[in-house]
Amino acid sequence: MMKWLRATLRGDPCQLQLDFEGPPQNAEQLLARLRALGLKGITRCRLTRNRAVMVSFSGRELRIHEAYLGATPEVLEAIVAFVCGRTRHERRAAQRIILSFPIRAPLRTPVRRPGRTNEEDEALVRELMYWHAEYNARYFNGMLSTVPIRISRRMRSRLGQYTAASPYGEPAEIAISRAHIRRHGWAEALHTLLHEMVHQWQAESGYEIDHGAAFRAKAIEVGIAPHARRELRAAKAGRVVSPHELLLRAARQE
């Protein structure tokens, strides 16, 4: 890190020349740095402030959270490995390094509040915590950590959502929609809980949080529907290829 902060004087002592090791200042410089570290196949880089997306790429475009402008060389190398890694093992190792770099929450986005649950909902939370422990023992060998569960009165089309611990220092949580419990009943709510627990398992095992192959295999193993949506409408024509993203969050949708 010190190397990055060091400006070197060369030639004319009045001319302060930053050496190439200085931190990149914008998307173009960041892309140049990543290419120097071996990044291939990417021709455009955009900086984002979306607090749930750290790194994402699709086609030739790479999107990176702006906080990574200040990342250490090790983290930049991990971003290259995340994009270009050939094996799941390489990508998982890279993900761990990327997420371990502490970043500052963008100023304009409010920091998530700790579970503010209505008193009426507390009995539901206790029941969900009970089932979380039960499912953890039954399907995950008790390996998942205990995370706060919150009942959301605002989630409508989202039925449940898992949010991983963020590099901003916020803890992981599972949120379940109160409207979902009311409309679809307790069995469906437990299905959603288990769905979010599979995302928790992804996060805690170093997988990407998504509805990809690892999610589907684990969902089938624990006996739930391996889809993002509760009910699958008639299959749409043409398969959408999902981009690779290093997300902190995934939700089960209506």
Please report, as ranges, the residues that interact with Zn ion according to CB under 5 A: 228, 250, 252
Q: How far is the CB of 162 from Zn ion (least distance, A)?
A: 7
Whether 129 contacts 145, CB under 8 Å: no
Instruction: Name which of 166 and 200 has its Cβ closer to Zn ion.
Output: 200
For residue 203, CA distances in Å to 160, 187, 206, 243, 246 come to 16, 25, 5, 18, 10
Q: How far is the CB of 250 from Zn ion (least distance, A)?
A: 4
Q: How far is the CB of 116 from Zn ion (least distance, A)?
A: 23
Instruction: Name which of 56 and 101 has its Cβ closer to Zn ion.
Output: 56
| Short-list 60, 18, 96, 230, CA closest to 46 | 60
Instruction: Name which of 79 and 250 has its Cβ closer to Zn ion.
Output: 250
Q: How far is the CB of 205 from Zn ion (least distance, A)?
A: 15
Instruction: Name which of 35 and 227 has its Cβ closer to Zn ion.
Output: 227
Whether 174 contacts 150, CB under 8 Å: yes
- Residue number of the CB atom closest to Zn ion: 250
Instruction: Name which of 222 and 228 has its Cβ closer to Zn ion.
Output: 228
Q: Provide long-range contacts, Cβ within 8 A and 24+ apart, for 199-204.
A: 199/162, 199/250, 200/144, 200/145, 200/147, 200/162, 200/172, 200/174, 201/140, 201/143, 201/144, 203/162, 203/164, 203/165, 203/172, 204/143, 204/144, 204/145
| Short-list 79, 91, 75, 252, CA closest to 180 | 252
Q: What three-state secondary structure class fits 55?
A: strand
Whether 182 contacts 159, CB under 8 Å: no
Q: How far is the CB of 252 from Zn ion (least distance, A)?
A: 5
Q: How far is the CB of 245 from Zn ion (least distance, A)?
A: 13
Instruction: Name which of 32 and 228 has its Cβ closer to Zn ion.
Output: 228
Cα 109 from Cα 193, distance rounded (Å): 27
